[in-house]
Structure 1
Amino acid sequence: MASPIHLQIKSMYTDFSPKEQAIADYILENPSKVSHSSISDLAAELGIADSTFFQFTKTLGFSGFKDFKLALLKQENDLSAVTIHENIQKNDSELVMAQKVFDSNIKTLTDTKKLLNEEDLNAAVKIISASRRLYFFGVGGSEIVATDAYHKFLRSPIPVGHSTDYHIQLMEASLLTEADCAIVISHSGKSKETIHIANAAKKSGAKVIVVTSQANSPLAKLGDVVFISISEEIEFRSEALASRIAQLSIIDSLYVILMFHNRESAQETITKVREVILGLKENKTD
């Protein structure tokens, strides 16, 4: 199933030119009007040529304006609900502020869920299952997601690795082989450090799975499989922090699918981990 248009636009937004961003903003803010207007009327409203709007629809992957408009009409109900409780107001109570944060997180998960497809999930899990080693890479805020993934996949039957230090991550990536897999996480997909890591992993022959919020980012173009997380930015909290929740859920999904596909060996690993942790708890005296 095709991704909702507003999610396509958001995942590609940072790569648009200023004129394309103006068109994108207009579509996101006026989906119903766009779906019921002619290309000439829209172009006149935006002060651009018909051909500019036409080319924008081609950039989104449509054959032209008619194809774009038909898809938009089908998705109009979804698009009308793009803006929900995102902005915290000065007079909001503490409870309302918290509820709006929860609402934003829920929307982040819902939007990201819509972008998932079975082909990518199957491909990623097959790569991971066939890997001799699995390494997680992330810098800055994305390192938190990579660490969480490492902690989780330690319970899987696949040997895993992760370092919090960028230079060590870069060295680890360079030492991977064709039998290994790298999962590289970056919200923007434009971090030079993360791109260096992904390039090193690709050069070593390893398969690369990318988790990012930008579908057309340099990092996404390096991935054998790419997962897109969608998030909304609200005041006092960056979009990158919101995307972390979606990225964690993507990693959780890969972990659960992997464990179900390898139930017997996965159960052995889980049992070993539980036994050693339980031993620590039983020996605790304070």
Structure 2
Amino acid sequence: MRPGFTNDASVTERILATYDGLPNSERLIADYVLAHPNAIAKMSAKEIALSSGSSAASMSRFVKSLGFSGFAELSFALERDGTASTPVEDSESIFSRANLDEIIDFVLAVKMEELAATARYLKTSKLSEVVELIRNARLTIFAGVGNSISTAQNAAFKITQTGYRATACSTSDGSSLVALTLSEEDVLVLISTTGYSKRLVNVVENAHKVGASVVIITDKEDSELGRLADIVLKTSTHDRLLTRNLRFSQNPINFVIELITVLLYHSSTDAEELARIFDENMFFDKDLSKTGDSDATS
């Protein structure tokens, strides 16, 4: 079994987790399988290879890349996946039509499976250990690059609301500098779907220099950042089922962050009082009557 896969990991999950590291000949097969989830369950290895424009040798390597011993095991997994709650129609067919209702249902199904897959990984992860690290930390800093920076800042805000000190910088350079001010009592949480970022490697190295614990939330636990981290919380992002090259989803990472937030809230003696104070400040900020309902998340 390929490292990082649970025994019930779907074929789709395996493809998405390995895609970036596949050679072009195997990516052709991966693209075909992702685009035709129903058809391939009834096809032979040779038929899949020919239909994808690849070769039998590449098909054999592709099967091994997914962690299967052979095509028979892959076929069994495809048959099993066909009975699961996954999207039931090929994505190419869905997006070629102008039926918005069907597109909404398809995207919803993909997003639901994205979260369900992430939840399966979390159940076998060291999530409770991460919560304890943050509970006992003097400071937790969240760091990311690109659109993960705003996710890191949002995470720090949520954690602070539960009564624990957290922060996030607006640049990777800032994160590198702050990492050097940490101590053995502190925690660095990296947010990186791909697990590949030279800028974040520098942040991790600085955190290691001062003895801080390093956690990463990522799809790629066998990436460079995954190997550098002390604890990996694995996610499963399904962007490639919706867009070929656009990487946009933060849903799995936000799910992990919100799960940590809830766990911290229920283990904090100050969270309830802090939430009350926060509500009062929001009323003041919006000039709302204290007899009405608040909207603390807007």
TM-score category (smaller protein): 0.7 to 0.9
Match for residue 149 of structure 2 among 129, 133, 143: 143
What amino acid maps onto 1:269 in structure 2?
L
CA distance in 2, matches of 1:100, 1:36: 25
SS of equivalent residue, structure 2 residue 270: helix
CA-CA distance at 1:85 after TM superposition: 8.8
**Residue deviations 1:248-286 (CA, integer Å, cap 9, x gap):** 2321122112222x04332243344344545555699xx
- Greater Cα shift, 177-186 or 117-126: 117-126
Write out aligned runs for 1:74-85 (5 A). Answer: 74-78=80-84, 81=88, 83-84=90-91
* 8 Å contact kept, 2:162–2:268: no
Match 1:104 to one of 107, 111, 115: 107
Q: Which residue of 168, 173, 180 maps to 1:174?
A: 180
Q: Percent identical across equivalent pairs? A: 23
**Counterparts of 1:23 and 1:254 in 2: how far apart (Å)?**
37
Q: Shift of residue 138 of structure 1?
A: 1.6
Contact 1:85 1:104 in 2 (8 A): no
> Which residue type is aligned with residue 107 of structure 1?
V
Tell me the secondary structure at the aligned position of residue 230 of structure 1.
coil
Deviation at 1:143, TM superposition (A): 0.9
Q: Which digits, 9 at most, give the CA deviation of each residue in 1:200-259, with x for residues without a partner? A: 334433222223344543333333123324133657x97333x12332232112211222
Take 1:272 and 1:92, find their aligned partners in 2: how far apart are those partners? Answer: 48
Given the superposition, is the C-alpha separation of residues 214 and 84 from structure 1 closer, same or farther in structure 2, using an over 3 Å criterion? Answer: same
- Matches of 2:228 and 2:104, distance apart in 1: 33
Is 2:182 the partner of 1:196? no
- Is 1:245–2:251 an aligned residue pair? yes
Runs (5+) with no aligned partner, structure 1: none
SS in 2 for 1:184: strand
* Residue identity in the other structure for 2:233: V
Higher percent of residues as helix: 1
Q: Is the 8 A contact 2:215 2:233 kept in 1?
A: yes
> Which residue of 67, 78, 96 corresponds with 2:73?
67
Superposed CA RMSD: 3.5
Match of 1:228 among 235, 239, 245: 235
The number of residues matched between the two structures is 276
Partner of 1:7: 13
Query: Is the CA contact 1:86–1:104 (under 8 Å) kept in the aligned structure 2?
Result: no
8 Å CA contact 2:26–2:61 kept in 1: the answer is no
C-alpha distance 103-49 of structure 1, shift in aligned 2 (>3 A): closer
Partner of 1:113: 116
- TM-score normalized by structure 2? 0.76
TM-score by length of 1: 0.78
Match of 1:28 among 16, 34, 40: 34
- Contact 1:133–1:160 (Cα < 8 Å) also in 2: yes
